[in-house]
Structure 1
Amino acid sequence: MSKKLILMISAMSGFLAVACGAFGAHGLKDLLEPHLYATYQTGVEYQFYHTFALLFIALAPSDLSSKCLGWAGIAFTLGILLFSGSLYLLALTGIKVLGAITPLGGIAFLCGWVLVGYTAIISNRR
């Protein structure tokens, strides 16, 4: 995945995280049960964290460029879709089975962070 594409995904994800956060705070807070609202907010938080991770990858120095960072970008993007997306849907619909998808997003996040760390290790060997 190119740095330009990762930067674009980061921008879109940041926009959507702000929009989802505002929608939650102003439109959902009084409509959702407290535990579902907390679930929704967790989705927003993790989307923001990993939006910043995508931004880091997109702006990483060229000496850190590697295929691993591109794969990390894919993993973070997939994690946002699966983790945050499933939490948003769970909070909005109350369908508990959607919670089974959330750990898959968490695994994608973990893989992304491992790939970032691996990139650091291999860049020191060059």
Structure 2
Amino acid sequence: MTPRFLILCGALVLALGVAAGAFGAHGLKRLVAPELLEVWRTAAHYQLIHGAGLLLVAALAPRLAPAPAAWAGGLMLAGLIVFSGSLYAMVLTGARALGAITPVGGLLMILSWLTLAWAAYMK
């Protein structure tokens, strides 16, 4: 993933994260149980953190080994889509089984940060 693509994705992820947080705080309040509202908040929180992480990977790219840096960005994007996406879908559909794939997204996010460290070490 190129730094330019990571910046594009990071900015869009952050904009959508703010919108998701606002929707959770205002639009979902009367529609879902409080525990599902907390699940939504967790999804938005991790989305915002990893959206900023995408910008960080892009900003640091010139100081990192190129291949692992690209992998770090890809893993981070995939992780936040799977993690936050599965939680959003679970809240909106009520399909609790979707929570079973959420840890895969979390693992991808962890791997992205470890790969970022590897990219720094390899430079």
Per the normalisation by structure 1, the TM-score is 0.93
Structure 1, unaligned stretches of length 5 or more?
Answer: none
1:30 paired residue number: 30
Query: What are the residue-to-residue correspondences of 1:97-108 with 2, within 5 Å?
Result: 97-108=97-108
Q: CA deviation at 1:63?
A: 2.6
For residues 3 and 20 of structure 2, the distance between their equivalents in structure 1, rounded to whole angstroms, comes to: 25
1:43 paired residue number: 43
Q: CA deviation at 1:30?
A: 2.2
Structure 2, unaligned stretches of length 5 or more?
Answer: none
What is the identity percentage for the equivalent residue pairs of Structure 1 and Structure 2? 39
2:109 paired residue number: 109
1:91 paired residue number: 91
For the residue of structure 2 that corresponds to 1:32, the secondary structure is coil
Residues paired across the two proteins, number: 123
Deviating runs (4+, > 4 A) in structure 1? Answer: none
For residues 122 and 38 of structure 1, the distance between their equivalents in structure 2, rounded to whole angstroms, comes to: 39
Preserved CA contact (<8 Å) 2:65 2:122: no
One-letter identity of the residue aligned with 1:44? A
2:121 paired residue number: 121
For residues 39 and 52 of structure 2, the distance between their equivalents in structure 1, rounded to whole angstroms, comes to: 20
Cα RMSD after superposing both structures: 1.1
For the residue of structure 2 that corresponds to 1:29, the secondary structure is coil
2:21 paired residue number: 21
For residues 99 and 29 of structure 2, the distance between their equivalents in structure 1, rounded to whole angstroms, comes to: 20
